[in-house]
A = this chain, B = another copy of it.
Amino acid sequence: MSTANIVSKEALLEHWLGHRNLTRRVIEAFPEKELFSFTIGGMRPFSDLVKELLSIAVPGLQGIVSNTTEGYNHDLKLETKAELLAQWDADTPKISELYNQISEERFQENFNLFGQYEFPVIHNILYFIDNEIHHRGQGYVYLRSLGIQPPFFWER
């Protein structure tokens, strides 16, 4: 097995935080009402997708750092755009703080995330990022359907 490495711990955090900047702008682009009510094809409104992201990032990292396997709870009591954005902004520095507590060795170790997803820590963290991109892409369709131009995907 080769151990050639190409993404540093610092670079992956920076990559994630860049995605979070963009996701924040997508939340901001939604009108208050549609953020909580607009759906397509029986999917969840974008506010619920954001609550999923919020209930995964910091709680997931907390689980990894403190080695606890409590389940997640997507049903957060955030009922306005301002509340969602405030939680988003409160969580961003917590992500950096928790992430930086994970040693490089730990990234390769298995962890039973939320008592349910037994994978190497690096897989769990890549999943957090991928899942954010996935749901944000869905938010882009909602915005387009509402006649609103989403932020450029490549701006972070």
Q: Considering the chains assembled together, what is the distance between the CA atoms of A40 and B133 in angstroms?
A: 19
- Shortest A155–chain B CB gap in Å is 12
Q: Considering the chains assembled together, what is the distance between the CA atoms of A1 and B8 in angstroms?
A: 10
Inter-chain pairs besides A2-B10, A7-B122, 13 sampled, C-beta below 8 Å: A4-B104, A5-B8, A6-B7, A15-B126, A40-B145, A41-B141, A41-B143, A41-B144, A41-B147, A133-B137, A134-B137, A137-B138, A138-B138
A8 to B3, Cβ gap below 8 A?
yes
Q: Considering the chains assembled together, what is the distance between the CA atoms of A3 and B7 in angstroms?
A: 9
Q: Considering the chains assembled together, what is the distance between the CA atoms of A7 and B141 in angstroms?
A: 31
B134 to A41, Cβ gap below 8 A?
no
Known: A133-B130, A133-B137. A145 touches B41 (CB 8 A): yes
From A146, which residue of chain B is reached at the shortest CB distance? B41
Q: Chain B residues near A4 (CB, 8 Å)? A: 8-10, 104
